[in-house]
Amino acid sequence: MTALSRFVKQHERIAFDSNVLIGFVEQVDYTAQAIQFFDAADRYERDLWTSVMTVPEVLIEPRTHKSENIVARYEQLLRADSLWFADIKLDTSRYAVELATIWKLATRDALHLASILEAGVTGFITADRDFAKVDDLAVFVLTTKQHRQKHR
């Protein structure tokens, strides 16, 4: 069993960053890990969470570039029965300010994190190393080509 599969197995309520969905749909250097994550979530029958921020983050670029096949694939995945969306309300935004200040996160990352924490998520999958410093929940960072080159 891989470390990623163990991570998924350990968390009943698990969330993913939009970059993981991008890795699943589009060919990027961590696509194999993104596929492995979704396979493990399916195997262990996990309900998956993401924030509502994921919708514009994955759809704006392909719509701008008129990539209708990619848009259709995202739309199909965003409608999956096992996918739950964490909302962002005014209190969530205030919580995001605290998280951004504590962990030095970008605004969108702090909003994403605040919303999933409020949803009771205990595990988070991302390709963004900025989340590795957050200790409010367990974080699994997918290995990117850029990260592999830095640590050789």
Segment 105-148, tens digit of pLDDT: 999 999 999 999 999 999 999 999 999 999 989 999 998 765 43
CATH number for position 45: 3.40.50.1010
Segment 17-64, tens digit of pLDDT: 999 999 999 988 888 999 999 999 999 999 899 999 999 999 999 999
Count CB-CB contacts under 10 A for residue 103. Answer: 16
50-70: buried (b, 16+ CB within 10 Å) or exposed (e) per residue? bbebbeebbbeebeeeeeeeb
Helix runs in 29-144, H state only:
31-43, 54-64, 68-78, 90-103, 107-118
* Residue 151 in this model has a pLDDT that exceeds 80: no
Q: What is the model's pTM?
A: 0.89
Give the Cα separation of 65 and 17 in Å (integer).
22
Segment 61-110, tens digit of pLDDT: 999 999 999 999 999 999 999 899 999 999 999 999 999 999 999 999 99
Total domains in the chain come to 1
Q: What is the pLDDT of residue 47?
A: 87
| Identity of the residue numbered 67 | S
Domain that holds residue 89: 3-150
